[in-house]
Chain A
Amino acid sequence: MLSTIVLYSFAYLLLLSGLLFLFILARRLLVESRERKDLRLYKEMERELLEVWTSPSPSRAALEFARRHRSRPRVLKLLLVAYREALVGQALEPLKVIFERTIRGRCLRELRSPFLATRLQNVRLFVDFSRPEEAAHLVKLLNDKPVVRLAALNALTGIASQDTLAVIFDGYERDPEPNFYAYSNVFNSLGQRIEPFLRTSMRKPLSPDKHALLIEMAGRLLLRGLYPDIVRFSLSPVKEMRIRAARTLGRLLVPASRRTLIALAADPEWEVQAQAIRSLGNLQDWRAIPILVKALFSPNWHVRYNAGYGLAAYGLVGVLQLQEVSRQKEDRFAADMATMVLDTVVLTGGAA
């Protein structure tokens, strides 16, 4: 009885394994055959696409290309995405024509798909081929899942008219759970043209987190016109605002900011002190050197670290100060930090 059970079960197992193996093989054959076919089609379409650019009338040739290949969306999408990567400027126009005449309608439909992956795929196509009038479709996706929202934001930056900018900032101000990382990428991509929008948003009563990102962006994009607003934030009772203000002042490098930074270097919070010290180092104002040397003796590691590198940024004058601190015996921590910074500076200099 037992041997029969084992025998039958073993036979079933073998059968099951064999079936699985055959299934994998059959699937491979199917997939490989489809891939071969797609590759052949891709090469054929690629050759025709290259002819579009060399034809006397690229737009007419693009229309003809679109008419011929409308029924092959899968390969067409791959081709468009690959060529979008390689081209810029006017050369993109035929691709946009082909996109609009072939898969644009389908993409718009699929942006409303209940499946996340489908929405994401189509947003990605819009990242490359979107037009200003299509912003409304993408704005709706700002309430979608994080991954779709990020892609939609990226797509919006590609069609940055004044209206789109207003939509993006409005979205930011209203967003109950903003993805700061995504917004910072978007603002960065938009560049200095966001200054008026940034100023308006900064003056509105937003949450500290939202203000913090706006302050940060002013520094990253070197928007010196926002300097008075940043100084205002340096007096904020919120620690995070003061930290951001100190960091931004260290990027804007407005000479008048020395006083504000010196005041922030005496802040009761060490995080603010550390940031202000680093910014004073960036400012390269020789009158700040004694403050940096004093900060090298701070009980806080971060403040000492920033003071050390801040002094090194002054070049020879700073290096001499660091050498002096490294030789003194009263404060071992300050001496260690100065030695480490000197080591790094010398090593980097040697490598360069």
Chain B
Amino acid sequence: MTDLLRILDTGFEHLILAYFLFINTFYFLFNVLSLAGILRYRRMVTYVRFGEIFRMPIVRPISVIVPAYNEEAGIIESVRSLLSLRYPVFEVIVVNDGSSDGTLARLVEAFDLRPSRTVFRKSLPTLPIRGIYRSAVQPRLVVVDKINGKKADAMNAGLNISRYPLFCAVDADSILEKDALLKVVRPFLEDPERTIGAGGIIRLSNGCVVKEGQVVEVGIPRNWIARFQILEYLRAFLGGRMGMSMMKSTLIISGAFGIFRKDLAMACGGYRAASITEDMDLVIRMQKHMHEKKKPYRIQFIPDPICWTEAPENLRVLARQRSRWHRGLIQTLVRFRRMLFNPRYGVAGMFAMPFYAVFEMAGPFIEVLGYVLFGSHVVLGQVNAPFAVTFFFVAVFYGTFVSLLAILLEELSSHRYPRPRDILILTAAGIAENIFYRQYLSVIRAWSLIDYLRGKNEWGAMQKRGFAKAGQTP
């Protein structure tokens, strides 16, 4: 019996070490690929004049769709930021998804909205629409008021009303930089036949100063949870997504800022209302569709169009958000399980889906198992020294090294943190997140499987503070 336990223990130890070694090596390779991608992108845009799109006789107009649920704190800043975007032809469609706060009232007041008797084609099924409003002062703005049906349903309502061949999904608590559309649309101009989607980078606005719908001063927040998340976002977008994009394995274009071909999204049935992570679900369905039609396609991640968004600053709200993301990931991977290791779906089936299944979906359980095992060894006084050294090296040391590389990628890409103090804080966050924060999130993500199996499908409200104004202390 003791021998059996020892064999099991050794087996688990090897499994955990292999897991950490592989995941960190993959992320390290993604970082290397990202580095190459970012340097290439920087060279490619050296002489690009993004404003030349204004002179192009045929430019693809974009419908910016903004689903909003209880966003009264920041909706006006967000809409102002969207209306001030530099792009030749676009419309902004805000879908008020049955907010119970004053979202609609604030919009009506700020933009002089008036009821419109617009007749639209209901190509995608949605919950009933209560009214459509047009602004008397901003001809590009349309506001749709509908019964609450979650984000996917609101996006579908926006798609039904949108007029243009490309649509851009933007979260209502986000701010796009002025040139973001000009930059993110480039793949659609350069390779319009094949490009089906493109996404930019999401950055956290916590600690930044916002003035007239634009981030005017980038800073680091005082809250450590937000600081850890800044690093996480840099790691995920500049390291992970850029690397995955270089490998033609993009499965996620963030719902906070992504641009897609409308005809294709419609052909795939729009957003799936039952999905928790509707952005990932749509991207995978679009890829599946293209593979099944045997049409070449590409989805591109671009490192410099920036979308600023607010991150939760307390653990409870963060836990709800991460639990939802992980449940969404599990739901999507289970739903598209037939694509796993299926050569019919190319790189998406043979690499991207298995990667997400093994390292992103199952990862937290193995991590938690590793911490439990290590903790139990410490408690029982049976620390296996070679295991402890290797575990520390591959899990903590290697992991932190990969995290710190993300700061370097930021420095090489958009260089948004000009003060050395900010870099120092981010570096410190890279080390400090190993104490409690990472373990906490692993436990939350592992627990979300139980929530998923119990059929929990709720979003969980996120308290919004609104963006810090110029002159206010972030």
Contacts of B136 in A (CB 8 A): 347, 351
The A-contacting residues of B in range 111-169, CB under 8 angstroms, are 116-119, 121, 134, 136, 139
**A185-B392 in contact given A14-B431, A121-B44 (Cβ < 8 Å):** no
The A-contacting residues of B in range 414-435, CB under 8 angstroms, are 420, 423-424, 427-428, 430-431
* Contact B388 A2, beta carbon cutoff 8 Å: yes
B105 to chain A, nearest CB (A): 22
The A-contacting residues of B in range 181-226, CB under 8 angstroms, are 189-194
For residue A16, CB closer than 8 A to chain B, the reply is yes
* Contact A17 B192, beta carbon cutoff 8 Å: no
Contacts of A28 in B (CB 8 A): 411, 420
Whose C-beta in chain A lies nearest to the C-beta of B114? Answer: A347
Whose C-beta in chain B lies nearest to the C-beta of A181? Answer: B192
Contacts of A27 in B (CB 8 A): 411
* Contact A339 B117, beta carbon cutoff 8 Å: yes
Contacts of B431 in A (CB 8 A): 13-14, 17
Contacts of A235 in B (CB 8 A): none
Contacts of A336 in B (CB 8 A): 117, 119
For residue A117, CB closer than 8 A to chain B, the reply is yes
* Contact A189 B404, beta carbon cutoff 8 Å: no
Cα–Cα distance between A347 and B134 once the two chains are bound (Å): 10
Whose C-beta in chain B lies nearest to the C-beta of A308? Answer: B119
Cα–Cα distance between A220 and B191 once the two chains are bound (Å): 22
B415 to chain A, nearest CB (A): 9
* Contact B189 A150, beta carbon cutoff 8 Å: yes
Cα–Cα distance between A117 and B40 once the two chains are bound (Å): 6
Which of A18-26, A194-202, A246-254 makes up part of the contact surface?
A18-26
Cα–Cα distance between A154 and B393 once the two chains are bound (Å): 53
For residue A55, CB closer than 8 A to chain B, the reply is no
Whose C-beta in chain B lies nearest to the C-beta of A122? Answer: B47
Contacts of B134 in A (CB 8 A): 347
Partner of B189, one of A20, A21, A181, A340: A181
* Contact A340 B383, beta carbon cutoff 8 Å: no
**A1-B193 in contact given A116-B44, A188-B58 (Cβ < 8 Å):** no
Which of B9-17, B287-295, B305-313, B395-403 makes up part of the contact surface?
B395-403
Cα–Cα distance between A336 and B120 once the two chains are bound (Å): 10
For residue A316, CB closer than 8 A to chain B, the reply is no
Contacts of B392 in A (CB 8 A): 5-6, 9
| In the complex, per-residue mask of A45-85: 1 if CB is within 8 Å of any chain B CB, else 0 | 00000000000000000000000000000000100010001
Contacts of A124 in B (CB 8 A): 46-48
Most interface-central of B190, B404, B427 (chain A CB within 10 A): B190
Contacts of A21 in B (CB 8 A): 420, 423-424, 427
For residue B461, CB closer than 8 A to chain A, the reply is no
* Contact A20 B427, beta carbon cutoff 8 Å: yes
* Contact B404 A16, beta carbon cutoff 8 Å: yes
Partner of A343, one of B116, B404, B407: B116
* Contact B427 A17, beta carbon cutoff 8 Å: yes
* Contact A9 B191, beta carbon cutoff 8 Å: no
Contacts of A23 in B (CB 8 A): 408
A115 to chain B, nearest CB (A): 8
Whose C-beta in chain A lies nearest to the C-beta of B116? Answer: A343
For residue A184, CB closer than 8 A to chain B, the reply is yes
* Contact B58 A301, beta carbon cutoff 8 Å: no
**A146-B57 in contact given A9-B397, A121-B44, A343-B117 (Cβ < 8 Å):** no
Partner of B401, one of A16, A118, A179: A16
Contacts of A2 in B (CB 8 A): 378, 383, 385, 388
Cα–Cα distance between A305 and B120 once the two chains are bound (Å): 9
For residue B56, CB closer than 8 A to chain A, the reply is yes
For residue B338, CB closer than 8 A to chain A, the reply is no
A312 to chain B, nearest CB (A): 14
For residue B1, CB closer than 8 A to chain A, the reply is no
* Contact A180 B192, beta carbon cutoff 8 Å: yes
Partner of A188, one of B57, B117, B118, B389: B57
B391 to chain A, nearest CB (A): 10
Most interface-central of A14, A117, A125, A180 (chain B CB within 10 A): A117
Cα–Cα distance between A305 and B388 once the two chains are bound (Å): 70
Contacts of A116 in B (CB 8 A): 40, 44
Cα–Cα distance between A265 and B224 once the two chains are bound (Å): 65
Contacts of A320 in B (CB 8 A): none
A158 to chain B, nearest CB (A): 13
* Contact A185 B58, beta carbon cutoff 8 Å: yes
For residue A214, CB closer than 8 A to chain B, the reply is no
Contacts of B6 in A (CB 8 A): none
* Contact B57 A189, beta carbon cutoff 8 Å: yes
* Contact B423 A301, beta carbon cutoff 8 Å: no
Contacts of B316 in A (CB 8 A): none
The B-contacting residues of A in range 268-324, CB under 8 angstroms, are 301-302, 305
* Contact B46 A121, beta carbon cutoff 8 Å: yes
Contacts of A16 in B (CB 8 A): 397, 400-401, 404
Cα–Cα distance between A6 and B396 once the two chains are bound (Å): 11
Partner of B407, one of A24, A118, A181: A24
Whose C-beta in chain B lies nearest to the C-beta of A21? Answer: B427
* Contact B57 A121, beta carbon cutoff 8 Å: no
For residue B49, CB closer than 8 A to chain A, the reply is yes
For residue A39, CB closer than 8 A to chain B, the reply is no
Contacts of B400 in A (CB 8 A): 13, 16-17
| In the complex, per-residue mask of A179-220: 1 if CB is within 8 Å of any chain B CB, else 0 | 111001100110000000000000000000000000000001
**A17-B117 in contact given A9-B392, A117-B43, A147-B191 (Cβ < 8 Å):** no
Whose C-beta in chain B lies nearest to the C-beta of A187? Answer: B57
Contacts of A179 in B (CB 8 A): 191-193
Most interface-central of A5, A14, A24, A220 (chain B CB within 10 A): A24
Whose C-beta in chain A lies nearest to the C-beta of B393? Answer: A9
Cα–Cα distance between A340 and B117 once the two chains are bound (Å): 5
| In the complex, per-residue mask of A96-127: 1 if CB is within 8 Å of any chain B CB, else 0 | 00000000000000000000111011001100
B112 to chain A, nearest CB (A): 11
* Contact B47 A117, beta carbon cutoff 8 Å: no
* Contact B47 A5, beta carbon cutoff 8 Å: no
The A-contacting residues of B in range 345-399, CB under 8 angstroms, are 378, 383, 385, 388-389, 392-393, 396-397
**A-B contact sample (16 more), CB < 8 A, given A117-B44, A343-B116:** A1-B383, A1-B385, A16-B400, A17-B400, A21-B423, A24-B420, A121-B46, A124-B47, A124-B48, A125-B47, A147-B190, A179-B193, A181-B192, A189-B57, A343-B117, A351-B139
Could you list 24 examples of A-B contacts with CB < 8 Å?
A: A5-B385, A5-B388, A9-B396, A16-B401, A24-B423, A77-B47, A116-B44, A117-B43, A124-B47, A147-B190, A150-B190, A180-B192, A181-B58, A181-B192, A184-B58, A188-B57, A220-B58, A337-B119, A339-B117, A339-B119, A340-B118, A343-B117, A343-B118, A347-B134
Binding site for B on A (CB under 8 A): 1-2, 5-6, 9, 12-14, 16-17, 20-21, 23-25, 27-28, 77, 81, 85, 116-118, 120-121, 124-125, 146-147, 150, 177, 179-181, 184-185, 188-189, 220, 301-302, 305, 336-337, 339-340, 343, 347, 351
Binding site for A on B (CB under 8 A): 40, 43-44, 46-49, 56-58, 116-119, 121, 134, 136, 139, 189-194, 378, 383, 385, 388-389, 392-393, 396-397, 400-401, 404, 407-408, 411, 420, 423-424, 427-428, 430-431
